[in-house]
Structure 1
Amino acid sequence: MFTGTAVFDLLLPGDSRSLKAKRSYVRPIVAALRRLEVSTAEVGALDRYGRSEIGVAVVAATAAHVGEVLDSCERVVAARPEVELLSVRRRLFGADD
């Protein structure tokens, strides 16, 4: 069994100067990621306007499958034209970790 995580650091548009506006950008991304059957949530920069960190976790039988799912998640986030993907931090955990 393997577990993989990814944290996406996002720069939101300049008009996200309220938490309501920030949510309007983050919620559709989280919903799109959940359609890939992963666990996801906003995990960082909760009190910063214009920035967000979205975390994703996946469990699979093989490391290759974990990598494929995280690649799909990264493509979904990178394809969003309204946000800029600044960085992605990934980790893979095996049964021995």
Structure 2
Amino acid sequence: MTEPPLIRFVVCVGDVCDREGRGSVLHERLSEALDFDFGKGIAAGEIACVRRSCLRHCSRGIPMVRIEPSGDVHADPDIEQMLDLVVEALAG
């Protein structure tokens, strides 16, 4: 069995969060930033960024991201803040 990633970002692209494509854009921007800053970690399976059709945290059209394994949920998060979480996870 493979080890789960040290940190995984689950971006909601359900009907509410992806209204006007905002969830999809967030997923794309976060994926690109992670690949740029942590490409080796992604390749090694330490970091992942995935899409889900609904996280059950609807917030009136604001894209949501759940961080695993902590379970923390962020509404329309700042990309730099998400990258800082990766640094913390890799250091811990």
**TM-score computed with the length of structure 1 as normaliser:** 0.36
Higher share in strand: 1
Higher alpha-carbon Rg: 1
